[in-house]
C-alpha cells in the first residue's frame, strides 16, 4: 500500500497520545479494547505496560489479517525502547485466535480476521482503537457501514479513538450517532478524533 505503520514524527509518542491518553485515560476500571490493526504490536505493548502500572485489568482484542514478519518485529525492537522486552516478546509469541493471560492484568486475543468480515459481539467493548491505514489507502475501512458496526460493538458511553480528523470521517461518525471531540493530535498535529457513543 506504500504506507507507513506509524507517524514519521514519532511512533511511540503518537500511540501514547492517541490511544493511551485520549483512549484508556478517559475510562476507569477494568476494560475491554478492540484494536483495528495490530501491526507492530506497539499499541498492545503500551496498553500492557499501562494495565500493570494502573493495576486495571484490560482485555485486548486485536485484528491483523497481514501479520508483520518476525524479522521486522525483531528489528523494530519496541521492547527495548519501552524497557519491556519480555512483554514485547510475549505479545508476539502468543497464539493467534485465543485469549491468553500475559500478566495478571493484560489479556490478549489476536485474530487474523478482517474488520469487514468479523462478527463482533454487541455492546462488548469500552474502547475501539481505530488504527487502520490512512483513509486514502483503505477507504472501505473508513466508511459508514464499518463505523456503524463498531458503534454496535461498543458499550453505551464507549469511545472510538483515532489519529485522523478527516472531514468525511467526521461526517460518517456523526451519521452513526457518535458525539465527536477533537483534541489536538500528537506531535503538533492540529486535531485527532474521539467519538463517543451516547
Ligand X SMILES: C[S@@+](CC[C@H](N)C(=O)[O-])C[C@H]1O[C@@H](n2cnc3c(N)ncnc32)[C@H](O)[C@@H]1O
Residues lying near ligand X in the complex (CB under 6 A): 5, 36-43, 63-66, 114-116, 131-133, 141
Could you tell me the smallest distance in angstroms from the CB atom of residue 198 to ligand X?
26
Cell of 2: 506504500
3-state secondary structure of 77: coil
For residue 114, give every residue at least 6 positions away whose Cβ sits within 8 Å of its Cβ, in sequence order, or none. Answer: 63, 65
**Which CB, 140 or 179, lies closer to ligand X?**
140
**Which CB, 126 or 131, lies closer to ligand X?**
131
**Which CB, 63 or 195, lies closer to ligand X?**
63
Could you tell me the smallest distance in angstroms from the CB atom of residue 95 to ligand X?
18
Could you tell me the smallest distance in angstroms from the CB atom of residue 185 to ligand X?
15
**Which CB, 27 or 138, lies closer to ligand X?**
138
Could you tell me the smallest distance in angstroms from the CB atom of residue 96 to ligand X?
13
In angstroms, the CA 174 to CA 66 distance is 30
Q: Please list the residues that pair with 107 across neighbouring strands.
A: 59, 101
Could you tell me the smallest distance in angstroms from the CB atom of residue 194 to ligand X?
17
**Which CB, 54 or 68, lies closer to ligand X?**
68
Cell of 113: 480476521
* DSSP string computed for 110-179: EE---TTTPPPPTT-EEEEEE-PSPTTT-TTTSSHHHHHHHHHHEEEEEEEEES---HHHHHHHHHTT-E
Amino acid at each position: 500500500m506504500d504506507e507507513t505503520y506509524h507517524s514519521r514524527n514519532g511512533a511511540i509518542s503518537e500511540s501514547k497520545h492517541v490511544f493511551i491518553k485520549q483512549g484508556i485515560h478517559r475510562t476507569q476500571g477494568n476494560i475491554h479494547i478492540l484494536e483495528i490493526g495490530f501491526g507492530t504490536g506497539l499499541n498492545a505493548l503500551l496498553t500492557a505496560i499501562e494495565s500493570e502500572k494502573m493495576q486495571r485489568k484490560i482485555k485486548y482484542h486485536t485484528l491483523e489479517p497481514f501479520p508483520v514478519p518476525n524479522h521486522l518485529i525483531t528489528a523494530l525492537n519496541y521492547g527495548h525502547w519501552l524497557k519491556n522486552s519480555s512483554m514485547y516478546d510475549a505479545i508476539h509469541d502468543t497464539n493467534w485466535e485465543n485469549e491468553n493471560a500475559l500478566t495478571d492484568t493484560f489479556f490478549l486475543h489476536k485474530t487474523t480476521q478482517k474488520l469487514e468480515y468479523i462478527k463482533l459481539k454487541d455492546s462488548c467493548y469500552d474502547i475501539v482503537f481505530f488504527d487502520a491505514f490512512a483513509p486514502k489507502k483503505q477507504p472501505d475501512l473508513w466508511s459508514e457501514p464499518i463505523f456503524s458496526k463498531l458503534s454496535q460493538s461498543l458499550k453505551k458511553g464507549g469511545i472510538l479513538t483515532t489519529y485522523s480528523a478527516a472531514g468525511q470521517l467526521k461526517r460518517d461518525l456523526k451519521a452513526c450517532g457518535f458525539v465527536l471531540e477533537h483534541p489536538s493530535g500528537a506531535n503538533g498535529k492540529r486535531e485527532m478524533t474521539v467519538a463517543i457513543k451516547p
